[in-house]
Structure 1
Amino acid sequence: MNSKLIEALKLKMQPVAIILTDDNPEDGLHFKEGNMRGCVASMLVSASKKNRLAFFDRKTFGCPGGGTGLGFGDRYGKFPIDCLLSTGNEEMANQMGRQSSYMLEGERFYKSPEQARKWVDSLPMTDVPTQYVVFKPWELLTEEDKPELIVFFANADQLSALVVMADYDRGTNRSITAPFGAACQPILFGYEEAKKENPRAVIGFFDISKRSIVDRETLTFTVPFKMFQEMEGNVEGSFLELHAWQKLQERQ
Structure 2
Amino acid sequence: MDKHTLDRLPEFLDILGLDEVPMGVFYTDTKPTDGFSPKPNDLPTRERELANEIDWQGVFGQFSCVLGNIWRARKKKTTAYFSAEQFGCPGGAFWLGFNKPQAETIIHYVSTGIPNWTDGELYCESPDELRRIFEYVDPRPAPKKFCVFKPVDQFLQDEEPELVSFFTRPESLSGLHQLAAFVTNNPEVVASPWGAACGNLVVWPLHYLSRGIDRAVLGGWDPSARKFFKTDELSFTLPLRMFQDMLHRVDASFLKTKTWSTVQKKIARSRKRWGEK
Q: Output the TM-score relative to the length of structure 2.
A: 0.80
Q: Give, in angstroms, the shift of residue 9 of structure 1.
A: 1.4
The answer to whether the 8 A contact 2:36-2:79 is kept is yes
Query: Which ranges of structure 1 fall in alignment gaps of 5 or more residues?
Result: 94-102
- The reply on whether 1:38 has 2:52 as its aligned counterpart is no
Q: Which residue is equivalent to 2:226?
A: 211
Given candidates 2, 5, 15, the residue that maps to 1:8 is 15
Q: Give, in angstroms, the shift of residue 166 of structure 1.
A: 1.0
Given candidates 241, 260, 265, the residue that maps to 1:245 is 260
Given candidates 166, 177, 188, the residue that maps to 1:163 is 177
Percent identity over the alignment is 31
Give the stretch that moved more between structures: 148-157 or 40-49: 40-49
Q: Give, in angstroms, the shift of residue 142 of structure 1.
A: 3.2
Q: Which residue is equivalent to 1:65?
A: 91
Structure 1 stretches of 4+ with a deviation exceeding 6 A read none
Deviations 1:180-215 (A, max 9, x none): 111111111122233454410011111011112212
CA shift in 2, pair 1:198/1:230, >3 Å: farther
Partners in 2 of 1:124 and 1:165 — Cα distance?
A: 29
Q: Give, in angstroms, the shift of residue 239 of structure 1.
A: 1.0
Partners in 2 of 1:197 and 1:116 — Cα distance?
A: 25
Letter in structure 2 aligned against 1:219: L
Q: Give, in angstroms, the shift of residue 73 of structure 1.
A: 4.0
Deviations 1:29-83 (A, max 9, x none): 12221165111111222222210112222111111111122222426224x2332
Given candidates 48, 51, 54, the residue that maps to 2:74 is 48
Partners in 2 of 1:22 and 1:52 — Cα distance?
A: 18
Letter in structure 2 aligned against 1:208: P
Equivalent residue of 1:250, what SS? helix
Give the stretch that moved more between structures: 35-44 or 151-160: 35-44
Deviations 1:210-242 (A, max 9, x none): 112212311101111111112112111211111
Partners in 2 of 1:196 and 1:120 — Cα distance?
A: 17
Equivalent residue of 2:71, what SS? helix
Partners in 2 of 1:144 and 1:243 — Cα distance?
A: 38
CA shift in 2, pair 1:225/1:170, >3 Å: closer
Corresponding pairs, count: 240
Q: Give, in angstroms, the shift of residue 112 of structure 1.
A: 2.5
Higher helix fraction (1 or 2): 2
Q: Which residue is equivalent to 1:119?
A: 133
Letter in structure 1 aligned against 2:214: P
Letter in structure 2 aligned against 1:90: P
Given candidates 66, 70, 74, the residue that maps to 2:100 is 74
The answer to whether the 8 A contact 2:183-2:242 is kept is no
Partners in 2 of 1:57 and 1:235 — Cα distance?
A: 36
Q: Give, in angstroms, the shift of residue 119 of structure 1.
A: 2.2
Query: Which ranges of structure 2 fall in alignment gaps of 5 or more residues?
Result: 1-5, 42-58, 268-277
Letter in structure 2 aligned against 1:207: D
Partners in 2 of 1:86 and 1:205 — Cα distance?
A: 19
